[in-house]
């Protein structure tokens, strides 16, 4: 199914010409490869669980990874999506189906419901990508929406929303339209999918960069996602807790409404001291210790400091996906 209206147009902006990749600098057909990157628009019902945090109108990108119209994107764009549109670089809009979302890696998959007639981009070796390597960060819209970038970091990334990557990719300069964008290596292969924009440094010297989810994280779970829509493992325990590092420890920045932590009485501003008998001082340790307790449904004990007083809270963890609307095929 195809459509052409104002709601499915490629955003009207361009990367400055001096930052765009020059086709003559690459040993592959850059223009053809960039056709694989499409725009993506998703609409989510206002009563969806993630509507309050992620919004109901989500705009980003995806990349065609199979000739049949399978598109890889970042999962938060399509979580609980009721409708999805894929916008090609020549302005065509094709309806898609939100096929799967992997909570662990953060990847999402969309299946085009009409013909995209676009080349699929091959997976590259993101594990071999080193700091200093050159790449192209591309959004839907062709070369005018692509930027030459360098890998400026390979390290752990811990997200406040119960998310952890062991070896994330960080690139600069930052792409302004990063969500679901494609990181393409010098060999023309896909290395990862854009997730965030981050700042490093102080007010005098600040560097904006993108955090990229490596495509190596997709390889082990792709067939499971295509077959059943989820990874064939017991779901991880989820608390619905937003934690932040600061003031020498971990602070609860908020809790997900109706989530396990909220039901157990965890409050914004609580300082997290320990999970069970293990002292906790950083986000990565918190999430690893949480997931090591067992599958979703495992009881969790958090030791907190609330306004200077010790508080122990027992939380019955849950499967995050049980709070979400399932994808609906149109």
Give the model confidence (pLDDT) of 165-192 as tens digits.
999 999 999 999 999 999 999 999 999 9
pLDDT bin (cut points 50, 70, 90) of residue 65 is very high
Across 10-38, average pLDDT? 92
Tell me: pLDDT of 221 over 90: yes
pLDDT of 230: 85
Tell me: pLDDT of 99 over 70: yes
Tell me: pLDDT of 76 over 60: yes
Tell me the C-alpha distance between 75 and 18, whole Å. Answer: 31
CATH 2.30.42.10 placement within the chain: 241-323
Rounded alpha-carbon distances, angstroms, from residue 57 to 3, 86, 114, 269: 17, 14, 22, 30
- 94, 330 Cβ separation under 8 angstroms: no
For tokens 């989530």, what's the residue?
259
Of the CATH numbers 2.30.42.10, 2.70.70.10, 3.40.50.300, 2.30.30.100, which one belongs to the domain with range 241-323?
2.30.42.10
pLDDT bin (cut points 50, 70, 90) of residue 4 is very low
First to last CA, the chain: 10
The whole-model pTM stands at 0.93
CA atoms within 13 A of residue 304's CA, in its CB half-sphere: 22
Tell me: pLDDT of 330 over 60: no
CATH 2.40.10.120 placement within the chain: 1-231
Hey, what are 161's tokens? 């929303």
Q: Cis peptide before 173, with omega less than 30 degrees from 0?
A: yes
For tokens 């306004």, what's the residue?
307
CATH class assigned to 1-231? mainly beta
- 298: number of Cβ within 10 Å: 17
- The 3-state DSSP class for residue 24 equals helix
């Amino acid at each position: 199914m195809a459509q052409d209206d104002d709601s499915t147009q490629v955003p009207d902006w361009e990367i400055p010409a001096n930052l765009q990749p020059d086709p003559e600098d690459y040993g592959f057909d850059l223009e053809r490869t960039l056709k694989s990157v499409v725009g993506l628009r998703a609409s989510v019902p206002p009563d969806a669980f993630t509507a309050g945090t992620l919004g109901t109108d989500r705009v980003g990108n995806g990349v065609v990874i199979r000739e049949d119209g399978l598109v890889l994107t970042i999962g938060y764009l399509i979580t609980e999506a009721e409708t999805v549109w894929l916008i090609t670089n020549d302005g065509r809009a094709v309806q898609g189906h939100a096929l799967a979302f992997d909570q662990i890696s953060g990847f999402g998959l969309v299946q085009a419901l009409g013909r995209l007639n676009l080349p699929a981009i091959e997976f590259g070796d993101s594990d071999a990508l080193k700091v200093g390597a050159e790449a192209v960060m591309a959004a839907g819209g062709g070369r005018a929406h692509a930027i030459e970038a360098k890998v400026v970091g390979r390290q752990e990334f811990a997200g406040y929303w119960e998310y952890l990557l062991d070896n994330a990719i960080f690139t600069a300069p930052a792409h302004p339209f990063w969500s679901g964008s494609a990181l393409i290596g010098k060999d023309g292969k896909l290395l990862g999918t854009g997730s965030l924009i981050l700042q490093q440094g102080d007010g005098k010297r600040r560097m904006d960069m993108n955090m990229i989810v490596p495509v190596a994280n997709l390889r082990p779970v792709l067939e499971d996602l295509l077959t059943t829509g989820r990874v064939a493992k017991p779901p991880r325990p989820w608390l619905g807790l937003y934690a932040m590092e600061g003031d020498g420890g971990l602070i609860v920045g908020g809790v997900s409404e109706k989530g396990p932590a909220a039901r157990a009485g965890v409050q914004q501003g609580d300082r997290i001291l320990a999970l069970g008998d293990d002292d906790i001082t950083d986000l990565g340790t918190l999430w690893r210790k949480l997931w090591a307790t067992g599958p979703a449904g495992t009881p969790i004990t958090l030791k907190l400091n609330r306004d200077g007083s010790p508080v122990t809270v027992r939380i019955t963890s849950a499967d995050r996906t049980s709070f979400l609307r399932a994808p609906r095929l149109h």
